[in-house]
Amino acid sequence: MRPRVKAYDHADRYPHELVEQMKQMGLFGATVSPEYGGLGLPATLYARIVMHISSVWMALTGIFNSHLMLALAVEKFGTEAQRRAWLPRLASGEVRGGLALTEPDAGTDLQGIRMTARREGDGYLINGTKTWISNSIEGSCVALLVKTDPNAQPRHKGMSLFIAPRGPGFTVGRKLEKLGYKCIDSGEIVFNDYRLPADHLIGGEEGQGFRQVTGGLELGRINVAARGVGIAEGALKLASDYAQVRKTFGKPIAEHQAIQLKLGEMATRARAARLLTLDAAGSFDRGERCDMEAGMAKYFASEAALENSIESMRIHGAYGYSKEFDIERLYRDAPLTCIGEGTNEMQRIIISKQWLKRNPVG
């Protein structure tokens, strides 16, 4: 990636060549069980891969992470027939896609979605719009969250999740322009009288969609945390390298106390973010409930990415503002980690509620 990333990022061009390499390496089946053609990697190793790639180019991890969230939903909650039909093709990259949750008026509040799926004969008729969907343009399939019972109370009981491949009524809208996270295709999808057979309902039972989606968010948040670690560590590496060769007043700026204070804070943030993320990934691998741990990792690591990228840019001085230096890309990519997979405000609420639940008085 390293010699190509500037050209891709500045042109906002989809990296088809690198995607083909990722297919060959098995990354599209990284967390899929070997039984279905995947690598079956534990979350701890998967997180390290994401950290390593994100230290150079975070956007590339979005191409396979969103895809793996689709695969996770099928493997964890699908019927055996659905697993056999879809997972081998997902693991190979023959079918690529993502998770279609967000709508123009529903993001963090997933229960506020308006897309409907109405039962008609042996299938469903689906109408509505999704937005900010990764892999929507270059991919061929999504896990689609809809309302099968818009009047259900509580609202989550009326939500269902479908495997939705491209077909008549599935229209990809515009590619959304972004500050950072370039090259990956974030777009809109419009569903207009889109029909799906009933056997595309994940798990075969209506009303399970909200539980199925939130059941995969722990791994999604670990992934975003790992991205944050990568950016925090990448920004630290760029800053420390630059500080040792850039001289002012007759000596490298790394010897100035003001720069040393920044580097000390950056190194500590990056290390703490890594340890929190691996702790959450370890809990996930052991099959433990880890919404608090994943929330802590996602919250801290994303803030570490943002702070380290800003501090690294400051250490670079005017060069940090130049598109010729890599730090400006990390600076543009970092804010997304504070928003994606649930805002950091929401993470703090989740952390607080789980902490109190685990630590009652007496």
Q: Which residues are catalytic?
A: 341
- CB contact at 8 A, 86 and 98: no
The long-range contacts involving 66-69, CB below 8 angstroms and separated by at least 24 positions, are: 66/97, 66/98, 66/99, 66/134, 66/135, 67/28, 67/96, 67/97, 67/98, 67/135, 67/139, 68/28, 68/30, 68/31, 68/32, 68/219, 69/98, 69/99, 69/143, 69/216, 69/219, 69/220
Cis omega (within 30 of 0) on the bond before 154?
Answer: yes
CA-derived radius of gyration, the chain? 21
262-284 b/e with 16+ CB inside 10 Å = b?
bbeebbebbeebbebbbbbbbbb
Half-sphere exposure of 196 (CA within 13 A, CB side): 29
Structure tokens at 53: 């790639």
Is residue 219 within 8 A of residue 267, CB to CB? The reply is no
Give yes or no for a contact between 317 and 218, defined as CB atoms under 8 angstroms apart.
Answer: no
Contact 206, 145 (CB under 8 A): no
If you write DSSP's letter for every residue of 248-268 in order, what string do you get?
Answer: ETTEEGGGSHHHHHHHHHHHH
